[in-house]
Amino acid sequence: MNQLSGKVALVTGGSRGIGAATARRLARDGAAVALTYVRAADKAQAVAKQIDADGGRVLVIQADNADPGAVTAAVSQTVTHFGQIDILVNNAGIVTGGPLDDMTVEQADRLWAIDVRAVFTASQAAARHMSEGGRIITIGSALAERVPVPGLTLYAMAKSALTGLTKGLARDLGPRGITAVVVHGGLIDTDMNPVDGPAAAALSSLPALGRYGGADDIAAAVAYLAGPDSRYVTGTAITIDGGFAA
């Protein structure tokens, strides 16, 4: 359980859902963890308090992914506080959905800025401080591979872009021994898509397993990718979706 001892991780959007589960898991595996939040300071502090109570090291940073300066500053604060950064988990994101005719350029721009541009910005900033063995792990979506219902065009576009971005990062950073992987999650029980939400009954029929997954399912995949056993995994997507895209 100490496979990440001596490592430092930054998890964007770490105050709730997948980000919170990932921050807790990486800390449990021995990493010092910095996590960012936008508005939910109380939830971020609750995650930090749990990590601290379990004997981990944690730093909480307020940073909005819509602001490139805030994203790069979060990386800098992590390095200044802990002295290094070894693992970046690009988790923060928003969902924009609705009928195609109702979508606006402003919505597309905001989604792109938070879900894609910030991933590039954080990855570029973090890579400057990483040495051999560094890990860049991005949380995508199974909607990059399958869009089973209408109203998700913009979101699917953004999440699909993360696959190409990850492949490019892998090529650019591979000679330095740094890996890049995107994790496409399926129906995961989070605040954005709760298992008791209005569409949950219909959506639950889509995965082959016939149910939602949990944030810890994604966190477990991230923990593997952050650890030494994944040293030959890069430039690819790993899908954790219960058979949603099968």
Query: Please, where are the H alpha helices in the chain?
Result: 17-28, 41-53, 68-82, 105-112, 118-127, 153-173, 200-203, 215-226
The CATH number linked to 159 is 3.40.50.720
Burial of residue 158, with CB atoms counted within 10 A of its CB: 0-12 exposed, 13-18 middle, 19 or more buried: buried
Within-domain flag for 213: yes
Per-residue confidence in pLDDT tens, the chain, 246 aa:
699 999 999 999 999 999 999 999 999 999 999 999 999 999 999 999 999 999 999 999 999 999 999 999 999 999 999 999 999 999 999 999 999 999 999 999 999 999 999 999 999 999 999 999 999 999 999 999 999 999 999 999 999 999 999 999 999 999 999 999 999 999 999 988 899 998 899 899 999 999 999 999 999 999 999 999 999 999 999 999 999 988
Within-domain flag for 3: no
Q: Rounded CA gap, 84 and 239, in Å?
A: 29
Within-domain flag for 60: yes
37 as an active site residue: the answer is no
> For residue 102, what are the contacts with CB-CB under 8 A and spacing of at least 6?
none
Within-domain flag for 73: yes
In this structure, are residues 225 and 135 in contact, taking their beta carbons and an 8 Å threshold?
yes
- Which tokens sit at 94? 């928003």
> For residue 163, what are the contacts with CB-CB under 8 A and spacing of at least 6?
140, 144, 182, 237
- Residue of 37, 155, 212, 224 marked catalytic: 155
Residue numbers of the domain that contains 182 = 8-240
Within-domain flag for 18: yes
Q: Determine the distance from the C-alpha atom of residue 239 to the mean position of all C-alpha atoms in its chain, rounded to a whole number.
A: 13
Number of domains, the chain:
1
**Neighbouring C-alpha atoms within 13 Å toward the C-beta of 138:** 37
Within-domain flag for 1: no
Within-domain flag for 14: yes
